[in-house]
Amino acid sequence: MRIAIVQDDKSVRIEERPIPKPKPNEILLKIISAGANPSDHMHIDTVGQAGDWLGTDFVGKVVELGSAVPQAEVKIGEIRWNYCRGGIGEKGAFADYITTQWDLSSIVPPNITPQEAATLPLTLMTAVQPWIFHHLPNRFLRIPGF
């Protein structure tokens, strides 16, 4: 499969890699669309290392289930979305295929195109974080401009 990889000189090159095999609790998606985020290029410019896989937000078609994925919950052919920590390890949405934990992905609603859906996962996770972390001590939400 093709994947965008950071090079030693901080450039990005499309390289060939084997299609990943899903772990027991993962699904394999054939990427339909991937969203570009500021974090994608900032990763390259700041902490990016040669060999990092790039891309965060993705939408894909389920093509394989891990051995522990309940078939009542996930079907081959479904269109699902999620995000990954692109640039950390061997995960990246700027690829032909990606594995993701099945229960952290969800079906793309029928009224949203895959291209629209690929812009949302990291954005939605960022918006939800204040509700997830509000109960932790010494956690603050900074709103620029206020």
DSSP conformation class of 95: B
pLDDT at 118: 87
pLDDT digits 0-9 by tens, 85-138? 766 667 889 999 999 999 989 999 999 999 998 888 766 666 666 666 666 667
pLDDT at 136: 65
21 located within any domain: yes
74 located within any domain: yes
Please tell me the least confidently modeled range out of 38-47, 113-122, 137-146.
137-146
E strands, 10-120, are 12-16, 26-35, 57-65, 79-83, 97-101, 106-107
pLDDT at 134: 64
Contact between 56 and 37 under an 8 Å Cβ cutoff? The reply is yes
Query: Domain range spanning residue 81?
Result: 2-133
pLDDT band for position 38 (cuts 50, 70, 90): confident
146 located within any domain: no
83 located within any domain: yes
- The pTM of this model reads 0.82
144 located within any domain: no
94 located within any domain: yes
CATH number for position 63: 3.90.180.10
Q: Is the model's pLDDT at 5 over the cut of 80?
A: yes
Split into its structural domains, the chain has a count of: 1
Q: CB neighbours of 59 closer than 8 A, spacing ≥ 6?
A: 31, 32, 33, 34, 79, 80, 81, 108, 114, 115, 117, 118
138 located within any domain: no
